[in-house]
Amino acid sequence: MTSAALQNAPLPPPTRRGLSRVEAAEYIGIGPSKFDCMVSDGRMPKPKKIDGRRVWDVRALDRFFDLLPGGDESDHNPWDE
| Mean pLDDT, the chain, whole residue set | 87
More confident residue, 75 or 18: 18
Q: Is residue 79 predicted with pLDDT exceeding 80? A: no
At the topology level of CATH, where does 15-67 sit? Multidrug-efflux Transporter Regulator; Chain: A; Domain 2 (1.10.1660)
What is the Cα–Cα distance from 72 to 57, expressed in whole angstroms?
26
Rounded distance, CA 22 to CA 38, Å?
Answer: 13
17-67, pLDDT tens digit by residue?
Answer: 999 999 999 999 999 999 999 999 999 999 999 999 999 999 999 999 999
**45 or 16, which is more confident:** 45
Provide DSSP, 7-68: HHSPPPPPSSSEE-HHHHHHHHTS-HHHHHHHHHTTSSPPPEEETTEEEEEHHHHHHHHHHS
The model's pTM: 0.71
**Domains of the chain: which residue ranges?**
15-67
